[in-house]
Amino acid sequence: MELAVTEELRETLRRFFADRSPGAEVRRLMGTAEGYDPGVWARMAGQLGLQGLAIPEEHGGTGYGMRELAVVFEEMGRAVACAPFLATTVAAAALLAGDGGHDLLPGIADGTTIATLAVAEEDGRWDLASVAASGVGGVLTGVKSFVLDGHLAGLVLVAARDEDGAVALYAAAGDVPGLTRTPLTTLDQTRRLARIGLDGVPARRVGGAAAVARAMDVAAAALAAEQLGGAQRTLDMTVEYTKVRHQFGRPIGSFQAVKHRCADMFVLVESARSAVLNAAAAADEAPDELPAAAALAKAYCSDAYFHTAGEAIQLHGGIGFTWEHDAHLYFKRAQSSRQLFGPPARHRERLAALAGITDEAAAP
């Protein structure tokens, strides 16, 4: 039954994004101030129920899990879809893992609230040990950087230190006095990042360090699923091209060197799929295993996507370097996603710590 649900969901999503997020539309949205289509966002919530897919029914969602959510991210990654979905999903995961913000979930589930989680600061590190912002007395001060869709989020969840110096999660409205947003220039124009200044911003505590840690693990697993979708699409478009591009009177896909490169891409994609399925299963059924599974998935899928996207450009030849071709969209997304929520090296270090190989702290 679960397989039937996910496959039906996949088919529906593929048709939806093929219609609503073709390459031409992605390029158009890249040039807009918002970076997404509000009409499509509303359809995602109203017709497909995507924003509330992994939110329990008692909070306005449909009560599915990470397995189904991974399918959504894979199909969005395949289409390089422009939408604040990753930011909002991660924020929802943080609220679900917390103890004081469940009343904010219905707005996320019905699509009326765009939310984000702000963890990293000026040093660009996503681990909790680097959090320096203050939330003492329910007042936020500090700076958060590389905030996903921070330029438009109506709900900002901030990782900050409480009165005891421990990391806690605070919820602040996006339009309150003292909260400033500065859009950042990014390589990947399909995904927006912002710098958020916090100068005496009123907020309420909605969770502790465990909620932030859980959200970061979900973020890593979700992004890995998105990377899988992009890697699969770059493989598919490359194989299709090598069948129709002729050189010396024959398809270039018939040359052994090209076959080997496509075969290497295939192995990377299928291995990435295994890592994503493992992380999704851990999130749903074995929470204690999620930190290691998410770290493994993010590290491997980051490298796999970056390699396949690079190979796609190379094997497409001259056309692969042009603005008109979609290859560069995937290459830029692969490079930016590689750094988001921590680079592969950082996740491998964490995985080694969780496995007891090193003494480094295993916290995200």
pLDDT of 302: 98
Split at pLDDT 50, 70, 90, the class of 1 is: very low
Phi, psi dihedral angles at 69 (to 5 degrees): -65, -35
Report the pLDDT averaged over residues 339-350. Answer: 95
Q: How confident is the model over 307-324, as a mean pLDDT?
A: 90
Q: What does the pLDDT read at residue 85?
A: 98
All structural domains of the chain, each given as residue ranges with its CATH number in brackets, are 2-109 (1.10.540.10), 115-208 (2.40.110.10), 211-354 (1.20.140.10)
Confidence at 328, pLDDT banded by 50, 70, 90? very high
Check whether 5 has a pLDDT greater than 80: no
Please tell me the predicted confidence (pLDDT) of residue 4. Answer: 54
- Between 20 and 318, the higher pLDDT residue: 20
Binned at pLDDT 50, 70 and 90, residue 363 comes out as low
pLDDT tens digit sequence for 41-94: 999 999 999 999 999 999 999 999 999 999 999 999 999 999 999 999 999 999
pLDDT confidence of 324, banded at 50, 70, 90? confident
Specify the long-range contacts of residues 321-329, CB closer than 8 Å, at least 24 apart.
326/23, 326/80, 326/237, 327/234, 327/237, 329/23, 329/26, 329/80, 329/190
Q: What does pLDDT average to over the chain? A: 94
Which of the four pLDDT bands, split at 50, 70 and 90, describes residue 321?
A: confident
Residue 261 has pLDDT above 90, yes or no: yes
- Per-residue model confidence as pLDDT tens digits over 192-221: 999 999 999 999 999 999 999 999 999 999
Q: Is residue 170 over pLDDT 90?
A: yes
| Paired tokens of 25 | 């539309």
Q: Give the pLDDT band (50/70/90) at residue 161.
A: very high
* pLDDT one-digit tens code per residue, 81-137: 999 999 999 999 999 999 999 999 999 999 999 999 999 999 999 999 999 999 999
pLDDT greater than 80 at residue 361: no
pLDDT at 22: 94
